[in-house]
């Protein structure tokens, strides 16, 4: 079955035809690391992880690059505020991000470049743009000349006045055109900076991704992904830089963007008190329940992230893991056709989840869920998960109580048996009696 994806560039679903069928190349914009990432940052990671898994099943070689922005004005401000060095701050927060994404079941990308490792390539790319007449130096800055690219704005499809207003570009006397954007800017003595032909300075945000994708995937590649909020100005400017520097009609053949995430119907905001970090959520809810909830809406549609949704996701996984409990199951060699067809239709994860619900064979269930990055642990591990800092009996204490209950039942002391069951339930432990004995899970 063919893979079809929605291309933001054409605003249509298109059959996926890679530039080189022997090597598919994918780039996704990653986080700016100055604090724990919020749950909205996790949505593209999870969505494009499903795509990465799908591509790996279809093609002999896939290179997935997801960058880390580790130089930015927000990073410098946070480092100054905390008293940490930029290096210490970005290492700590990048390590936390990577750990949180692993816990959400995301496969590691093939490359995870940090912007500071590619400043030399950024300077070379900027110089190339200057030499070709697409950029100019002024007062220690280098700016991209938007009028030098006649079809600038093709991705976002905004008229020129909206492009200027939407970019919230800095009004500066050294600009030749209000829409021109910064490729390089000078740094004060107290700020992070690198030597360049124009000033001791630092790169603009947009040039970072053009340089890293070009270095690791080539001048053109197959798929560029990221959040809907990146279409303009970030991705629009990436296209302008890369196409102008390399002289190609495209930067990436397909552009994919995930939709926004709301918290209980409202935009996430610290002022509303609903700002949720992944790190915090992983202490309170099972990681696979968070991942499943992120997949319950189609990646291009808005997603409402709620406590009720997390509870439903956990109940769904209880059911799936319950079908595997006590069995030695290996996933089927092939992903069930109903699941694969759903994912082949522009990553229709809600339809894929529905297809998994209909699978009764444990091997097929495991293969279908694995395609979504789910059912990645032993059932007993799933059922024994507990929130960080939660009170309640330990595993060994629970097993002792179950043994005492079994002894009471054998002696026909059902009053004592019920007392033990009810006491465990009050402590958040649910007992389930079956033909093979008593199993338990934390509620």
Residue 169 pLDDT: 52
**How far apart are alpha carbons 240 and 157 in whole angstroms?**
14
Interacting residues of 123 by C-beta distance below 8 A, sequence separation 6+: 184, 194, 196, 197, 203
**How far apart are alpha carbons 270 and 180 in whole angstroms?**
32
Omega before 233 within 30 of 0, i.e. cis = yes
Residue 399 pLDDT: 82
Residue 200 pLDDT: 98
Residue 167 pLDDT: 53
Residue 412 pLDDT: 83
Among the listed residues 179, 155, 160, the one whose alpha carbon sits nearest the alpha carbon of residue 169: 179
Residue 421 pLDDT: 87
**How far apart are alpha carbons 438 and 384 in whole angstroms?**
14
Note down pLDDT in tens along the chain; length 443 residues: 899 999 999 999 999 999 999 999 999 999 999 999 999 999 999 999 999 999 999 999 999 999 999 999 999 999 999 999 999 999 999 999 999 999 999 999 999 999 999 999 999 999 999 999 999 999 999 999 999 999 999 999 988 777 766 555 566 788 999 899 999 999 999 999 999 999 999 999 999 999 999 999 999 999 999 999 999 999 999 999 999 999 999 999 999 999 999 998 988 877 777 889 999 999 999 999 999 999 999 999 999 999 999 999 999 999 999 999 989 999 999 999 999 999 999 999 999 999 999 999 999 999 999 999 999 999 999 999 999 877 778 788 788 878 779 887 888 877 878 897 888 888 888 888 888 778 888 87
Q: Tell me the pairing of strands 252-258 and 181-186.
A: unpaired
**How far apart are alpha carbons 308 and 319 in whole angstroms?**
17
Q: What is the edge-to-edge ordering of all strands in the sheet holding 303-305?
A: 266-267, 261-263, 303-305
Residue 72 pLDDT: 92
What's the full length of the chain, in residues?
443
């Amino acid at each position: 079955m063919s893979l079809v994806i929605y291309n933001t560039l054409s605003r249509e679903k298109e059959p996926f035809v890679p530039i080189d069928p022997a090597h598919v190349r994918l780039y996704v914009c990653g986080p700016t690391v100055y604090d724990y990432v919020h749950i909205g940052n996790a949505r593209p990671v999870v969505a494009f992880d499903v795509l990465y898994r799908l591509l790996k099943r279809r093609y002999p070689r896939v290179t997935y690059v997801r960058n880390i922005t580790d130089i930015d004005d927000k990073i410098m401000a946070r480092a100054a505020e905390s008293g940490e060095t930029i290096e210490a701050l970005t290492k700590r927060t990048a390590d936390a991000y990577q750990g949180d994404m692993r816990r959400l079941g995301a496969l590691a990308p093939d490359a995870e470049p940090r912007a500071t490792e590619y400043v030399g390539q950024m300077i070379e790319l900027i110089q190339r743009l200057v030499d070709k007449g697409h950029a100019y130096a002024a007062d220690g800055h280098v700016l991209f000349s938007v009028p030098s690219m006649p079809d600038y704005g093709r991705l976002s499809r905004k008229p020129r006045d909206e492009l200027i207003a939407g970019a919230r570009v800095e009004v500066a006397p050294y600009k030749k055109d209000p829409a021109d954007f910064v490729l390089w800017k000078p740094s004060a003595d107290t700020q992070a900076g690198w030597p360049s032909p124009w000033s001791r300075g630092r790169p603009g945000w947009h040039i970072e991704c053009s340089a890293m994708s070009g270095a690791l995937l080539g001048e053109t590649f197959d798929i560029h992904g990221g959040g809907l909020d990146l279409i303009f100005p970030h991705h629009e400017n990436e296209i302008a830089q890369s196409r102008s520097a390399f002289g190609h009609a495209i930067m990436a053949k397909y552009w994919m963007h995930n939709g926004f995430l709301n918290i209980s119907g409202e935009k996430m905001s610290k002022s509303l008190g609903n700002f949720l970090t992944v790190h915090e959520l992983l202490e309170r809810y099972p990681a696979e329940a968070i991942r499943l909830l992120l997949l319950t809406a189609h990646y291009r549609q808005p997603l409402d992230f709620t406590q009720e949704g997390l509870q439903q996701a956990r109940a769904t996984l209880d059911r799936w893991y319950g079908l595997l409990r006590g069995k030695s199951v290996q996933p089927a060699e092939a992903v069930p056709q109903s699941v694969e067809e759903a994912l082949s239709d522009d990553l229709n994860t809600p339809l894929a989840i529905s297809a998994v619900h209909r699978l009764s064979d444990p091997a097929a269930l495991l293969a279908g869920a694995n395609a979504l990055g789910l059912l990645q642990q032993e059932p007993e591990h799933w059922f024994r998960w507990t929130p960080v800092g939660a009170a309640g009996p330990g595993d060994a204490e629970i097993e002792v109580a179950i043994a005492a209950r079994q002894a009471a039942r054998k002696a026909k002391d059902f009053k004592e048996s019920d007392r033990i069951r009810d006491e465990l339930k009050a402590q958040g432990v649910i007992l389930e009696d079956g033909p093979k004995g008593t199993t338990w899970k934390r509620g």
